[in-house]
A and B are shown apart, each in its own frame.
Chain A
Amino acid sequence: DAGVIQSPRHEVTEMGQEVTLRCKPISGHDYLFWYRQTMMRGLELLIYFNNNVPIDDSGMPEDRFSAKMPNASFSTLKIQPSEPRDSAVYFCASTRTSGGHNEQFFGPGTRLTVL
């Protein structure tokens, strides 16, 4: 398996622009997580899905952030409009809960810079 795939790997945009981050989870995994990582705040859980349904979006910082999972193999995280404080590395992770083992598999991340 190719693992969790994220695109783009790097994104540089200007304040006010729309940003869309993409994730393909590992086939057969039924949970998908979006995280944001910064030096100041560490790794923050933004939202997660189970079987394509959003379960908990309490970590989404503002209405400017939205996430969708239209099918089991694809998810997007959208920021509109983007702001400089959104600059961070965004990770997608997936897992399959089986036998009490729920280790998460992370993608390589998208490094977002908002100028």
Chain B
Amino acid sequence: SQQGEEDPQALSIQEGENATMNCSYKTSINNLQWYRQNSGRGLVHLILIRSNEREKHSGRLRVTLDTSKKSSSLLITASRAADTASYFCATDASGANSKLTFGKGITLSVRP
């Protein structure tokens, strides 16, 4: 099964609202990353959080990591229609030689 499991699978919100997406994983990790994929495009890296970090911010993005629960959350504040995309978490398992394991993704729809 997938290392990273996101939930919910789909999320629909109104522009201006906050979007929270969750990811759970199974094994020890070096870091956890979030990516965005717009329709018909490749994945784009958003943010990386290391295993010794608990929270990280980048613009309207806030990522948390709880290694005791093996879970992470991605918060997008003040969402915009342009945030509509699929979001994936990816884990870098310890000693995995840069290999990432991706979840199946969350489809976020932001209604104007």
Contact = CB atoms under 8 A, between A and B. Distances in A.
A72 to B, nearest CB: 15
B105 A42 contact: yes
A55 B105 CA distance: 26
A43 B43 CA distance: 10
Contacts of B104: 42-43
Contact of B100 (A91, A100, A104): A104
Classify chain A's interface size: 20 to 34
A19 B91 CA distance: 31
B100 A109 contact: no
A75 interface: no
B43 A106 contact: yes
B42 A55 contact: no
Contacts of A108: 41-42
Contacts of A56: 97, 99
A100 B45 contact: no
A33 B42 CA distance: 13
A102 B101 CA distance: 12
Given A102-B92, A107-B42, A55 B97 contact: yes
Given A102-B92, A106-B42, A106-B44, A45 B99 contact: yes
12 contacts: A33-B99, A42-B2, A42-B105, A43-B43, A43-B105, A45-B102, A48-B99, A56-B97, A103-B45, A104-B43, A104-B90, A107-B42
